Structure 1
Amino acid sequence: MNPDVRGYFRFTRKDRVEKSINTLIGLLEGIGIDGKVSSGEVSMLRMWLEDHADVAAQHPFNELVPAITGAIEDGVVDSEEHADLLWLCRRLQNPEFLSLVTADLQRLHAVVGGIAADGVISVEEMRGLSDWLQEHEHLKTCWPYDEIETLTTKVLSDGRIDAAEHQMLLDFFMEFLAVLDERTIERPLVLDEARQAMSALCAVAPEVSFDGKAFCFTGASSKFRRAEFEAVVSELGGQAQQNVTASLDYLVIGAEGNPCWAFACYGRKVEKAVALRRKGVRIVLVHENDFHDALMDAR
C-alpha cells in the first residue's frame, strides 16, 4: 500500500471508524473513572490526537479533533469537558442516525431555498413547510431547524402573511439559496424590525443584560477562548458557569461552524437547555454574533 494513504486507510472503513471511536470512549471512561482527569491522563488524549492527525479533516474526526483539542488546551479536562466529549463520541457512534441528520439538514436548507427561489412566499408554501418540519422533528436542536420552526409558527398564527412578514421570510430564506455551493450558513440575515419581534430557540436579536446574569458557552468560537468569555462576562457584572442549570440565564452558542459537523457545534449543553425550557425554565439561547453585539452595547 502506498505509504501516503496508509495512515488514512486505517480509519476509512466503517469498522475501523467504529473501533477508533470506541477506543476513544474507553479512554475517556478510563481516565475519568475516578471523577478527575490528571495531567498524565490528558497526555493520553494528546496521543490519540497525534495518532489521528492524518484524518483530522475527515468525518467524523473533524468533529472529534477540535472538541478534544479545545478541551485539553489548558492542560486540564474538567468534568463538563469530559461529559461533553463522551456525549459527542456516543452521538457519533451511531452512523445511521448521523447520516439521517446530515442528509435531512441538507434537505432543509434546500427546501427553504426552493420556497424563496421565485421571490414569493405563500401561505400554502409555509403550511407545506410546517408539515415538513413536523415530519422531521428529529432535527430539533440542530440549527437552523428550531429558528425556522419558530418563524413558521409565528407567521401562520393568523393564517396570513402580511407585507412585513413576507419581507422578513424572504430575507431569511433567500440566504439559503447560497448554501448549494456547500458554504456553512452562520446566521441568515433578517430585517432588524422583524428580528426584534421574533423569539426563537436561538433567539433573534435577543435582549442581553449582564449585571447579575448567569452565562454559559458551548460550541466553537474563532473570536475568544473559554477563559476570555468568562473574563468578559465577569467584567460586565455577570457570572460565567461551566454547565447548564435551571439558574442559567443565557447559553451562548459558538459561531465557528463546519458544513460537515452534525453535533460538535450544538451538543450536550443545548440538548439540556432545550429540555429545561420545555419544563418552563427561562433560558435564552444566544448566537455568538448577537453576544458580541451585546458586548459592544454594554461597553
Structure 2
Amino acid sequence: MVDLHQEFQKSRFFHEARIERRSADALIGIVTGITADNRVNQQEADFLKAWIEQHLTYLDDPVINLLYRRLSDMLQDGVLDTEESTELLALLKQFTGEPRTNLHPFNAPTTLPLNDPAPELQWSGRVYLFTGTMAYGPRKDCETLVTDRGGLIGASVSKKVHYLVVGSIGNEQWLHSSYGTKIKKAVDVRESGAGIAIISEAHWQRALFG
C-alpha cells in the first residue's frame, strides 16, 4: 500500500527547498538593488529587516542569520545613524560578494562569514582546512604550502582546526544560500567560542607571499 503521508512529506520538503532557494536569490537581488547607489537609508534598512523576518529567519543558514542579527542590532533603537548606515553598506556588499565582470567571469564568494579583522596567520603546529575553488591551484598544492611551513591539514571542521581557508573563485552555490557544509559548520563552531578563524584565500596568499 502506498504511504500517502510519506509522499506528502517528501513533496512538502521538495517544495520548501525550492521556496528557500528562490527566497535566498530574491534576498541577493534586493541587497544588490539597495547598495547600487552606494548608500543605505532608514527606509531601505527597515524594509530589508522586515523582508528577512517574513521570508528567511526560519532558514538554518548562519550567514543569512548573521546578516539579520547585525541589521537588527543597528535598528534596535529605531534609528539608522550615519555611522551605522556606512557600516551596513559595507556589510551588505560583503554579503553579495563581487559581481561578475568581463575581466572576472566568476563570482567572488560572500565575505560575510570571514573573520574581521583577519587574524595574523601562524604555521607551525596550526591546522588548516580548505574549501571552495582555490585561485592558486589544486588543493593538494595549497596543502603542500602549509605543510612545508610546519602546518597541518585537518580532515574536517572541528574545534581542532585553526583556519578554514575559503577559495577565491566563487560558484553558483554562493548565489543560492548554500555556503557549503564546511563554512556552515565553521561558523557554528566559531560562534560556540572555539578558536577557528574563517579566512579568504587572498589573506592566506598574502601571508605566504607578501
The TM-score, its normalising length taken from structure 1, stands at 0.50
Distance 1:235 1:228 in 2: 11
2:12 aligned with 1:99: no
Residue equivalent to 1:140? 61
CA distance 1:257–1:118, change in 2 (3 Å): closer
CA distance 1:238–1:107, change in 2 (3 Å): same
Deviation string for 1:228-262 (max 9, x for gaps)? 22122223343221211111111122232223667
2:113 aligned with 1:201: yes
**Aligned amino acid, residue 282 of structure 1:** G
Number of residue pairs matched by the alignment: 191
Please report how far the alpha carbon of residue 173 of structure 1 lies from its aligned counterpart in structure 2 after TM superposition.
4.3
Distance 1:264 1:149 in 2: 14
Distance 1:169 1:127 in 2: 12
Distance 2:118 2:60 in 1: 23
**Aligned amino acid, residue 219 of structure 1:** G
Distance 1:99 1:180 in 2: 24
Q: Which residue, out of 166, 171, 183, partners 2:85? A: 166
Distance 1:264 1:218 in 2: 16
Please report how far the alpha carbon of residue 207 of structure 1 lies from its aligned counterpart in structure 2 after TM superposition.
1.4
2:198 aligned with 1:296: no
Q: Which residue, out of 134, 150, 154, partners 1:241? A: 154
CA distance 1:171–1:264, change in 2 (3 Å): closer
Please report how far the alpha carbon of residue 133 of structure 1 lies from its aligned counterpart in structure 2 after TM superposition.
3.0
**Tell me, which stretches of 5 or more residues in structure 2 are unaligned?**
1-12
Question: Cα RMSD over matched residues?
Answer: 3.8
8 Å contact 2:127–2:162 — kept in the other structure?
Answer: yes
CA distance 1:248–1:101, change in 2 (3 Å): same
Query: What's the secondary structure of 2:159's corresponding residue?
Result: coil
Residue equivalent to 1:218? 131
Instruction: Identify the structure with the greater helix proportion.
Output: 1
Please report how far the alpha carbon of residue 127 of structure 1 lies from its aligned counterpart in structure 2 after TM superposition.
3.5
8 Å contact 2:100–2:107 — kept in the other structure?
Answer: no
Please report how far the alpha carbon of residue 97 of structure 1 lies from its aligned counterpart in structure 2 after TM superposition.
4.7
Please report how far the alpha carbon of residue 107 of structure 1 lies from its aligned counterpart in structure 2 after TM superposition.
0.6
Query: What's the secondary structure of 2:33's corresponding residue?
Result: helix
Distance 2:156 2:40 in 1: 40
Query: What's the secondary structure of 2:172's corresponding residue?
Result: coil
Distance 2:40 2:52 in 1: 17
**Aligned amino acid, residue 96 of structure 1:** H
Deviation string for 1:140-161 (max 9, x for gaps)? 146xx35634652554466544
Distance 2:115 2:67 in 1: 11
8 Å contact 2:130–2:165 — kept in the other structure?
Answer: yes
**Aligned amino acid, residue 121 of structure 2:** S
Pairing 1:32-43 to 2, within 5 Å after superposition: none
8 Å contact 1:249–1:284 — kept in the other structure?
Answer: yes
**Aligned amino acid, residue 166 of structure 1:** S
Residue equivalent to 1:270? 183
Query: What's the secondary structure of 1:202's corresponding residue?
Result: coil
Distance 2:15 2:130 in 1: 29
**Tell me, which stretches of 5 or more residues in structure 1 are unaligned?**
1-93, 190-199
| Percent of aligned pairs sharing the same letter | 24
2:202 aligned with 1:286: no
8 Å contact 2:168–2:200 — kept in the other structure?
Answer: yes
CA distance 1:246–1:125, change in 2 (3 Å): same
Pairing 1:71-110 to 2, within 5 Å after superposition: 95-110=14-29
Q: Which residue, out of 100, 105, 111, partners 2:30? A: 111
RCO (CA 8 Å, sep 6+): is it higher in 1 or 2?
Answer: 2
Q: Which residue, out of 181, 186, 194, partners 2:108? A: 186
Larger Rg: 1
The TM-score, its normalising length taken from structure 2, stands at 0.67
8 Å contact 1:216–1:241 — kept in the other structure?
Answer: yes
